[in-house]
Structure 1
């Protein structure tokens, strides 16, 4: 980070510490991780009219309805609410990944990857049924996944953060990009900008991986999620191989959604969330939601269950420290967060 950004970053963290202790009546939130022990990878949470909806990647054998949906009235107890959309009626359409739902002008839009490329579906309810709109957002690329639509809370402008492959960088692999969304929410408006590509050994996906008719030491940075706080934009991301314990969450920071972006972590490990000394296996691909107190940011993420048969959904609060956001005590088991 440059000096100005670091100073703003530190001032914002200090202010948050003061506000959190000044004249505030303590509130508690009790929960048990995982909050959902069925398979729900890449959980993306939407808060709508005081209730929460979680959308995720389902099991590969699901060939009918796609994207399991969970619903909660208190953020801690979740119940299944069916599936978001029907399978797309196109030949050989498969690999439904990483759904996320947002609302704009009374319409709900589901961004997802199908056939490893970004698509959009629409519905009149957060529970669907969502109808696929029939177009790829980036037909020029073979790989564009993990779409995260973000509305700047101050300007009302919409952006799409997503993951794509980079072959012309020092650490070849999957990285993050951003582009403005069109008013129809189904097209892009303007040039695509790079947010972040891999910069560290811990972000390796696989060495000597065969990709694009060649062999690379392949790195992966994926799963973007945006939070604007104290005038700065934070892009959470997950990196490394999702099938391994090394997978975890880092963050980048900028003064505008289109950048320039600076990574806020380090070159040794995932700083925001990782599986070190806490029993979690491959925690990541997160979303961020506001808890029922209306103030506290919670990270919603998946982790492998001990048997490694499913990626299960967990929630834990975020602490905004001088060194950046950190998930507080990520682990399975009974929790009580007191603010």
Structure 2
């Protein structure tokens, strides 16, 4: 296969928190944004990760009392059906994780009437992961008020069936640096904190180890970016590599606050990182892609790119 040429963003309209699922010979993308055809989460389809078309909305809306803000959908295929994990709530308050199911990857998805995180203060960014032994895990972000760096942190629990968590959620990654500060002296839960944020977890297994890509900082600010941690088991312990800078960072006046990524196999079988970024005028978070390369020192991203570039062929990747 020849190299695929592209220019970011690959979709011009607002499309935050992009998640891309490979289905057969093509791709389906789901994102946070507008309600389409009376359904939450716009759905896009593509044959090459570069040219996308909208095919409507994904999720049938819940009653208004459940919330008006639908965030960060991710979809997994199991038992011949497609399961969407997402959060819903009112702004920054009361978000919880839910699950919906569809008979087709483009929907419509029907909520299954289950609050997966009834005991959490705030839970967002659910990301399902199936290990090679068949065990499903649900990575997510949740608020934690204990520790030196308070804020939103990464957690995981086991899925006992696609609509039920085991109830043993554990924090797997806590804030470790000032670049992860969301807002200093933020009023939260009746107190004032220097609030940190880790969010948008996505796990990829590579050569026997597990890599959790995540976003840190304030999604409204240029400090927002993507980093990763490594573990030998999905439940951890998870460790950030020492001295490794974020994989994706702002390029001033070009790409602002790249983050909330997923990883998908490209048409030639190589990994591609999908993420959103603000345009320089900060009018919209739009979907972008770049090659994700693996080396002895771990993953690296050829980006964020903002000029015409290409996804290399497998032979080019091997020589890198």
Is TM > 0.5 for Structure 1 vs Structure 2? Answer: yes
Match of 1:167 in 2: 145
Structure 1 unmatched runs, 5+: 1-25
Q: 3-state SS of the aligned residue for 2:48?
A: coil
Q: 3-state SS of the aligned residue for 2:114?
A: coil
| Range that drifts further, 300-309 or 258-267 | 258-267
Is 2:145 the counterpart of 1:176?
no
Q: Partners of 2:38 and 2:72 in 1: how far apart?
A: 17
Given that residues 156 and 171 in structure 2 are in contact (C-alpha distance below 8 angstroms), is that contact kept between their aligned partners in structure 1? yes
Given that residues 254 and 279 in structure 2 are in contact (C-alpha distance below 8 angstroms), is that contact kept between their aligned partners in structure 1? no
Q: 3-state SS of the aligned residue for 1:91?
A: helix
Residue 264 of structure 1: CA displacement? 2.3
Matched residue count:
308
Q: Partners of 1:93 and 1:161 in 2: how far apart?
A: 22
Q: Partners of 1:222 and 1:260 in 2: how far apart?
A: 18
Is 2:101 the counterpart of 1:122?
yes
Match of 1:58 in 2: 33
Q: How large is the Cα RMSD of the aligned pairs?
A: 1.7
Residue 263 of structure 1: CA displacement? 1.0
Match of 1:10 in 2: none
Is 2:162 the counterpart of 1:219?
no
Match of 1:248 in 2: 225
Point out 4+ residue stretches in structure 1 off by more than 4 angstroms.
none
Q: Partners of 1:256 and 1:75 in 2: how far apart?
A: 30
Q: Partners of 1:199 and 1:92 in 2: how far apart?
A: 33
Residue 201 of structure 1: CA displacement? 0.5
Please point out which of 259, 263, 271 is paired with 1:297: 271
Match of 2:57 in 1: 83
Structure 1 residues 56 and 315, CA, compared in 2 at 3 Å: closer, same or farther? same
Residue 142 of structure 1: CA displacement? 2.4
Q: Partners of 2:225 and 2:50 in 1: how far apart?
A: 23
Given that residues 278 and 330 in structure 1 are in contact (C-alpha distance below 8 angstroms), is that contact kept between their aligned partners in structure 2? no
Structure 2 unmatched runs, 5+: 90-94
Structure 1 residues 35 and 204, CA, compared in 2 at 3 Å: closer, same or farther? same
Q: Partners of 2:170 and 2:26 in 1: how far apart?
A: 34
Between Structure 1 and Structure 2, which shows a larger proportion of strand residues? 2
Match of 1:201 in 2: 178
User: Alpha-carbon deviations, 1:249-278, whole Å to 9, x = none?
Assistant: 0000000000011012548xx521111458
Residue 333 of structure 1: CA displacement? 2.8
Residue 29 of structure 1: CA displacement? 1.4
Match of 1:12 in 2: none
Given that residues 28 and 337 in structure 1 are in contact (C-alpha distance below 8 angstroms), is that contact kept between their aligned partners in structure 2? yes
Match of 1:337 in 2: 311
Match of 1:131 in 2: 110
| Range that drifts further, 99-108 or 317-326 | 317-326
Q: 3-state SS of the aligned residue for 2:75?
A: strand
Structure 1 residues 50 and 137, CA, compared in 2 at 3 Å: closer, same or farther? same
Is 2:259 the counterpart of 1:284?
yes
TM-score (norm 2): 0.92
Q: 3-state SS of the aligned residue for 1:202?
A: helix
Q: Partners of 1:134 and 1:48 in 2: how far apart?
A: 26
TM-score (norm 1): 0.87
Q: Partners of 1:283 and 1:182 in 2: how far apart?
A: 33
